[in-house]
Amino acid sequence: MPTYSFEEYTQVTHVMHDDAAVAGKDRHRTIPGDRQPAARPAARPLRKAQRMEQYEPDSLSAAQRAAMRRSLTNGRAALTRRSLLRASGALALGGLAGLSGCGIPPARREGQGPAPTDHSAAEKRVAFSNWTQYIDLSEDEKRRPTLEAFTRRTGIAVTYTEDINDNVEFFGKIKPQLAAGQDTGRDLICVTDWLAARIIRLGWAQKLDPANLPTAYANLAPQFRRPDWDPGRAHSYPWTGISTVIAYNAKATGGRRVDSVTQLLDDPRLKGRVAFLSEMRDTVGMTLLDMGKDPGKVTAADYDAAIGRLRKGVETRQIRRFTGNDYTADLGKGDLAACLAWAGDLIQLQADNPDVKFAIPAAGYLTSTDDLLVPAGARHKTNAERLIDYYYEPPVAARLAAYINYVCPVEGVRGELARIDPAMAANTLILPDRATAAKSHAFRSLDSAEETAFEEKFAKLIGA
């Protein structure tokens, strides 16, 4: 089996990080009620990784590299509040396996060794690694109110570190210790669903104790209860969700509502003023849904049919272009009449421009998650579980949702959020109602061969 050299891994990640630095600064908004700046919503993360092979081919294909750079320079990664790397599968299938060439031993599967000793009772502390600007702050941005309240209530001191800048970089940081069966120094981590799936599959996430998570279990929204990569949420709980929907400028459409991919592709009144996203899963997944196909069960034939439908839109010039986060300016100005968009971004766009509207297609939309895990070897598992459970209390979840403006995975939050900001509480981009949540779908996990084939076809479609 060929291996991916550490030198090549380093070269690729350095190129990607350089691209990310050029992609632009984080954008900030003011949260009503708090008036503190908060970073822009992040782009959607990668989809499920349940079926990834344990030993994927380690060299990235040209299509995977192209997808990676698209995400960093003007795609989901460039859009994020944190300069993260959510490249569309390329890294999950290539870069993440790269450290295997460095002499790191094979994964210790869960159950193959003694369970780590939990020191929670004797050591009243917990170490939590998260993305930057992904938790509520005080008005002076010097305190984290919900964490402070947790410590006051429980006596558990939280060491909170914003040391996750991208999934691949972070995984490369903790993988040697996990593979060696060592403590990473972290009791709780927050990673995108595809990486969470990989860590779980490798046996590097501890199984959670339901007895320590009564609130989380009771309040987890049904939409997030059954990921195919972690049945029953045995190892993970979502921190937040990110969705892809349709956005339109009502002034540019003459007041007409745009609420389907069919309209984007076929309405002659929108010709040349339509954009799709440069992320494969978003664009193809939304197209599949419009065609009556479930992206969670996509076949090669389904995928080819969706690519063919999109290609027709390119050839007829119905589609103006495939965009990353730069659709926001064009949509606000009316240069684009309608497009696919990342839901969290629309909250700020609507605040800035009342002509910007969004629609949840009747056919459905895509949602993914950032997830909390307790890594293998963590010293304070029970304390970490108590912290997870705490963030599923509606008042705490409401404070977090008001600050980060992502889909809240906690049931029963609406009343609490209404006390902070009634408009947010009514916004289905933050709190999907039952009908909206029922339309949520996920793009299924892809193995390495599928990933390469799908990305190559998509790259040809968008001219990348």
Residue environment code for 418-447, b if the CB has 16+ CB neighbours within 10 A, otherwise e: eebbeebbebbbbbbeeebbebbbbbbbbe
Higher-confidence residue: 351 or 233? 233
What does pTM read for this prediction? 0.70
Q: Do 162 and 263 belong together in one domain?
A: no
Q: Do 317 and 281 belong together in one domain?
A: yes
Tell me the residue range of the domain where 161 lies. 1-244+370-464
Q: Do 406 and 455 belong together in one domain?
A: yes
Smallest Cα–Cα separation from 195: which of 49, 303, 301, 80?
A: 49
Please name the residue that has the structure tokens 């970089």: 169
The CATH number linked to 35 is 3.40.190.10
Q: Do 345 and 279 belong together in one domain?
A: yes
Q: Do 280 and 405 belong together in one domain?
A: no
Q: Do 381 and 359 belong together in one domain?
A: no
- 38, 65, 420, 427, 434 from 423: Cα distances, Å: 17, 41, 9, 6, 18
Q: Give the number of domains in the chain.
A: 2
Q: Which of 17-31, 208-222, 426-440 holds the top average pLDDT?
A: 208-222
Q: Do 342 and 207 belong together in one domain?
A: no
Q: Do 75 and 214 belong together in one domain?
A: yes
Q: Do 225 and 201 belong together in one domain?
A: yes
pLDDT of 353-399, one tens digit each? Answer: 999 999 999 999 998 889 999 999 999 999 999 999 999 999 999 99
Q: Do 164 and 256 belong together in one domain?
A: no
Q: Do 56 and 187 belong together in one domain?
A: yes
pLDDT of 281-314, one tens digit each? Answer: 889 999 999 999 999 999 999 999 999 999 999 9
Measured distance CA(130)–CA(186) in Å, rounded: 10
Q: Do 210 and 284 belong together in one domain?
A: no
Which of 316, 350, 366 terminates a domain? The answer is 366
Question: Would you state the pLDDT for residue 464?
Answer: 66
Question: Would you state the pLDDT for residue 66?
Answer: 61
Which of 305, 340, 366 terminates a domain? The answer is 366
pLDDT of 41-94, one tens digit each? Answer: 343 333 223 223 333 333 455 665 566 555 545 554 444 443 333 333 333 334
Which of 333, 366, 399 terminates a domain? The answer is 366
